[in-house]
Structure 1
Amino acid sequence: MAQFSQKIKAFLNQRSVKYGLPFLVLVVGGSFGLKEFAQLRYQFSKVSKVRPEEFEKYGIEMKKPGEVTIETEFEKMKKLDIDNWEQVRGPRPWEEKNEN
């Protein structure tokens, strides 16, 4: 029995077993873990997107995809008066709501 335990200790102290076996367990176990995460990703990507009809039901108007462009937003920004403005301090959580 003592000779058998010495052979097992010698086998476990070999460099290939000491470093290679945990590496193989990590690689094989990691592949199974990644499989589970990828399965979750594809499972929840099948959730349907919100359609414009659903927005209209709640009174939210959506714009057409070609209606909003960089140029139209730039034209809106050119119309803004950015030279005349006033800095207003926002209310803090510990202050009363109606203070001015």
Structure 2
Amino acid sequence: MWSKLKALRRNRTVNYGIPMLLLVVGGSVGLREFTQIRYDDQKNRRKLDPALEAKLNTQKQPFSLEQEYEKLKDINLDKWKNIRGPRPWEHSREYQEQQQREQEQAQQQKGL
């Protein structure tokens, strides 16, 4: 009996093959479990309360093309000026003046 165990210990398949096979199969099973935990966690993070989800979906308000067309019809597209925005390292007075004019127009429209 002891001679058979000594023969098994000298066998290359037992010494190298079985541990390698266990490592490959065990690693595959272990990785599957860890990745499943990851995907389950992502799924749980995506779930929201219905009340909170209703507050977040304010941007999904219905609109019609006719309403958007009416808004665009009032805009004067013939009088426009192409003004380049300032670069981070420079000051553009023209850009600043345009912003001031737009703010003044917005305030006038709110006042009306």
TM range (shorter): 0.3 to 0.5
Task: Flag the structure with larger Rg.
Answer: 2
| Structure with the larger RCO, 1 or 2 (CA within 8 Å, 6+ apart) | 2
Q: Higher helix share goes to which structure?
A: 2
